[in-house]
Chain A
Amino acid sequence: MSRSELRKRIEEKSLILRRDIIRMTGEAGSGHPGGSLSAADIVSTLYFYQLRHRPAEPKWRERDRFVLSKGHVAPVLYAALAESGYFSRDILWTLRKMGSILQGHPDMKKVPGVEISSGSLGQGLAVANGIALGGKLDQLDYRVYVLIGDGESQEGIVWEAAMFAAHYKLDNVTAILDYNGLQIDGTVSEVMEIRPIVDKWRAFGWHVIEIDGHNVLAIIDAFAEANTIKEKPTMIVAHTVKGKGVSFMENAIDFHGKAPTKEQMKEALKELGEVDC
């Protein structure tokens, strides 16, 4: 497959994820669409290109693992899992409803394909390190991918885990920072500056790659580069746009933790090319 065909194929999947995110949060009446949309191209490239996984066998021992540390963007993960075939797409519309397996934040005991329950920020990288250690102990060559938020990077445990991964030379860990620049109380720079973020990760002993987090070919290339790095974990700093793909949600802080209204849902789905909405 040529690179342009590959790009087209992954972007088509990203579009499906974005529509699902809108519909899921719209139907639920709550949830976190902004960060789900900013992470959509990263998650899409993981599930529909990069990850070695078997949706029919979620506990396959040799699978690559994806840890969603910023658990509030559960909709993008659920959409990717459903589209991959881990569970029926019908379940997506039960998000956040009583009795649904799709809790507001991911629950590994309820959802096939969820590697760890998350939602409390900061904990995913340490979990990813543990999974990576397990892989090394078992001499399995799977890789562990972990998606971290920019606001989340204000949590102290992120840096404890950063130290740990470098200390134990966990080259099977690839972290991705969804750097959309917005958090609940304002811009990340206003609330609690995390820059110079690339220098910080380098100083912690990581290999760092900086990319446009909506360019799927750049994402693919970054994953490929990470695979070649030995004795060091890799951090991909992915510059993204919160709410990406829906004009009135882009860079709109309010859509961090607010679902679209029914009207907004229709409008957004139209923008995302859904015909029968």
Chain B
Amino acid sequence: MSEDKKSTRGAYGDALLELGEADENIVVLDADLAKSTTSIKFAKVFPDRFFDCGVAEQNMMCTAAGLATTGKICYTGSFAIFATGRAYEQVRNTIVYSGLNVKMCPSHSGITVGEDGASHQTVEDIALMRVIPGLKVVVPADYYEAKAAIKAAARIEGPFYIRLGRPSVPIIFNNDYEFNLGKAIKLKDGSDATIFAIGIMVSASLEAAKILEKEGINAEVINVSSIKPIDVNTIIESVEKTRKVVTAEEHSVIGGLGSAVAEVLCERLPAPIRMVGIKDLFGLSGSIPELLEYFHLTPQDIVLAVKNLVYQ
């Protein structure tokens, strides 16, 4: 794999190895997807602290909760659809209501699962997790941010949802990157519009900003990887300057980043918003580039959304 592109799920196995080395309280569970989530890396080195739960995600979540009550820091893998959909009520009632130290880091979120199609592509997981009281929700933009966030979660008491993905995505950060929960990161300064983005749409937004620059539009790009808690100050500060907002996410426009940013702005600083995301649709089978185009999740789609605001 080339160094300019790496998957965020790849960061999971690598982060777990480092965590497992440093702390024997790290315990990892998976639900028959250890190869896909990459937790297999941990399983091979620390077999005594890895438990495969079989195809039983609800059971995995409650087992993790039990382990957490004994002082373990428990990481759970699966596909995002099953971790959040199948096991929703276990996550809500047994893990988060009790505030237990379980770090849910499922992979294969969004439509970039690709060929498996809609049953395996969750476009609503952020919405589901974001509404659970007190749950911390993180959507890393690249391999290094994913690794830093997964490691940081071990040091912060309480449950986490860290959304990881299947495909290789462009590298934005480097190994020295420090993840700060609750902090949005400005990746490019701009004055004409602000693009708030998460996950794979962060690199797409940076590309969109380059295209826009050639056309004389100066867009600010902010990575809102910490969806909850959300960085209200950084959002307000940027929009006070630009007064125009585009959100970009590989998720339904209902309940995800677009909604989260709108919640902040409509109370504090109303501004026109265009949401680039999936429009109340299920996914589809197809190659990743085909799907990104079909669901309007390309840099060009972000460019159009920004222009739509700037020239209106």
Contacts and interface: CB of A to CB of B under 8 A. Distances in A.
Interface stretch (A19-27, A118-126, A184-192, A214-222): A118-126
A145 to B, nearest CB: 13
A168 B47 CA distance: 13
Contact of A137 (B62, B63, B72, B97): B72
B242 interface: no
Interface in B53-95: 53-54, 56, 58-59, 61-72, 74, 89-90, 93-94
Interface stretch (A31-39, A93-101, A155-163): A155-163
A131 interface: yes
B27 interface: yes
B295 interface: no
A131 B62 contact: no
A109 B98 contact: yes
Interface residues of B, number: 29
A164 B48 contact: no
A198 B54 CA distance: 24
A263 B48 CA distance: 58
B69 to A, nearest CB: 6
Interface residues of A, number: 31
Contacts of B256: none
B99 interface: yes
Contacts of A119: 93
A132 B58 contact: no
Contact of B94 (A116, A132, A135, A137): A116
Contacts of B61: 126
A129 interface: yes
Contact of A130 (B56, B63, B89): B63
Chain B, interface SS category: helix
A4 B72 CA distance: 42
Contact of A163 (B27, B56, B65, B68): B56
Contacts of A10: none
A67 B27 CA distance: 21
Contact of A117 (B63, B64, B98): B98
Nearest to B97: A117
B27 A137 contact: yes
B90 A157 contact: yes
22 contacts: A109-B99, A116-B66, A116-B69, A123-B93, A123-B94, A126-B62, A127-B63, A127-B66, A130-B62, A130-B65, A130-B67, A130-B70, A131-B69, A133-B51, A133-B67, A134-B66, A134-B72, A135-B70, A156-B58, A160-B53, A160-B58, A164-B59
A133 B66 contact: yes
B49 interface: yes
B69 A160 contact: no
- Say what secondary structure dominates the interface of chain A: helix
Given A108-B98, A130-B63, A160-B56, 5 more contacts: A126-B65, A127-B65, A127-B94, A130-B74, A167-B54
Contacts of A137: 27, 48-49, 70, 72
B243 to A, nearest CB: 43
A101 to B, nearest CB: 15
B65 A157 contact: no
B93 to A, nearest CB: 4
A115 interface: yes
A132 B63 CA distance: 9
7 nearest CB pairs, A to B:
A130-B66, A134-B70, A126-B62, A160-B59, A160-B56, A127-B66, A130-B63
Interface string A148-179: 00000000110011011001100000000000
Contact of A132 (B56, B66, B72, B90): B66
Contact of A127 (B54, B62, B89, B99): B62
Given A134-B70, A138-B70, A164-B59, A120 B93 contact: yes
B72 to A, nearest CB: 6
Interface in B253-308: none
Given A130-B69, A134-B69, A137-B27, A123 B99 contact: no
> Which of A128, A133, A168 has the most CB atoms of chain B within a 10 A radius of its CB?
A133
A120 B63 contact: no
A163 B69 CA distance: 21
Contacts of A157: 56, 58-59, 62, 90
B63 A126 contact: yes
Nearest to B64: A130
Interface in B136-172: none
A126 B70 contact: no
Nearest to A167: B54
Contacts of A108: 69, 98
Given A130-B69, A133-B51, A161 B62 contact: yes
Contacts of B90: 120, 123, 126, 157
A116 B67 CA distance: 11
Given A120-B93, A163-B56, A134 B67 contact: yes
Q: Which of A119, A157, A163 has the most CB of B within 10 A?
A: A157
A126 B54 contact: no
Contacts of B65: 116, 123, 126-127, 130
